[in-house]
Amino acid sequence: MTDRFVRRKVLLLEGKRLVVTGVLTDDSIAFQAARIAQDQGAEVVLTGFGRAMRLTERTAKRLPITPDVLELDINEPSHMDAVVADLEKRWGAVDGAVHAIAYAPEDALGGNFLNTPADSAATAFLTSAFSFKTLAAGLRPLMAKAGGGSLVALDFDNTQAWPLYDWMGVAKAALQAVTRYLARDLGADNIRANAVSAGPLGTVAAKSIPHFQLFEREWAVRAPLGWDVTDATPVGEMVALLLSDWTRMTSGEVVHVDGGFHAIAAGSEPS
């Protein structure tokens, strides 16, 4: 076969300029999303802040191409302004972003729902749900310059109440609502907003949830496809798909990557 008939493989995210928040360790969904995005041709910038900044910078070196890490405390407006200024100078426009930011104080988790103070519940909401709006509003002008793009939030489905998850569950339910309202308000700029609801994974974030093994046990008996709490790759692949032009007419969705758990009312003990 001559070179004239050889077709170059087109990568899913070739030429995309993406911002990925929330990378702490290489077992995280955000890390896998960044890795797959790079493998599929995207240029990636990570964000981190505070004492975790060094951890993000170390983990960034484990990606196929070591990306820059920008400082972003999502609740600090000056940080968002500085990130936008850097991205505008660096790229001129942005094609997409991954929101992997969540936090709830200790007294908002672990079965303390009725006793959680308002300030702690508000912190969980501000950092875990409202922050998606903060990221979207900040990046909106740069995504509009790109002719549109895709925002993807990492979610844990809370259409039902979970044991011990408490106000983080409320915040995640709010995150889904924020996703829908962003889809409504950003559609005119050809900007999509979606969320990926992942099954439980043994990440740093999961370790902050008391008795995380309860979630793992439930997935073992209810997920028809099975579920590996050590493998974030399937979730990262869905994030990459939603960042791509292959989902250019999908917005306001919550896509489950949980082994089918969400669709099954009850399971049976593994044989």
Q: Cα 123 vs. chain centroid, distance in angstroms?
A: 19
Q: Is there a domain that residue 167 lies in?
A: yes
- Contact 267/208 with Cβ under 8 angstroms? no
Q: Is 181 a catalytic residue?
A: no
Q: Is there a domain that residue 127 lies in?
A: yes
Cα 128-252-143 angle, rounded to 5 deg: 80
Mean pLDDT (10-residue bins), the chain, 271 residues: 60 97 95 98 97 96 98 98 98 98 95 97 98 98 98 94 93 98 98 96 65 77 91 96 98 96 77 51
To the question of pTM greater than 0.85 for the whole model, the response is: yes
Q: Is there a domain that residue 213 lies in?
A: no
Q: Is 103 a catalytic residue?
A: no
Instruction: State the CATH number of the domain containing residue 43.
Output: 3.40.50.720
User: Judging by DSSP bridges, how do beta strands 69-71 and 96-99 pair with one another?
Assistant: unpaired
Range of the domain at 63: 12-199+227-256
**Catalytic choice (16, 61, 103, 172):** 172
Q: Cα 232 vs. chain centroid, distance in angstroms?
A: 12
Q: How many residues does the chain have?
A: 271
Q: Is there a domain that residue 208 lies in?
A: no
Residue 1, pLDDT score? 47
Q: Is there a domain that residue 5 lies in?
A: no
Q: Is there a domain that residue 4 lies in?
A: no
Q: Domain count of the chain?
A: 1
**Catalytic choice (9, 61, 165, 207):** 165
**75 C-beta neighbours (distance < 10 Å), count:** 16
Sign of the C-alpha dihedral computed for residues 127, 131, 134 and 139 taken in this order: positive
Q: Is there a domain that residue 42 lies in?
A: yes
Residue 203, pLDDT score? 66
Q: Is there a domain that residue 221 lies in?
A: no
CA nearest 96: which of 21, 196, 170? 21
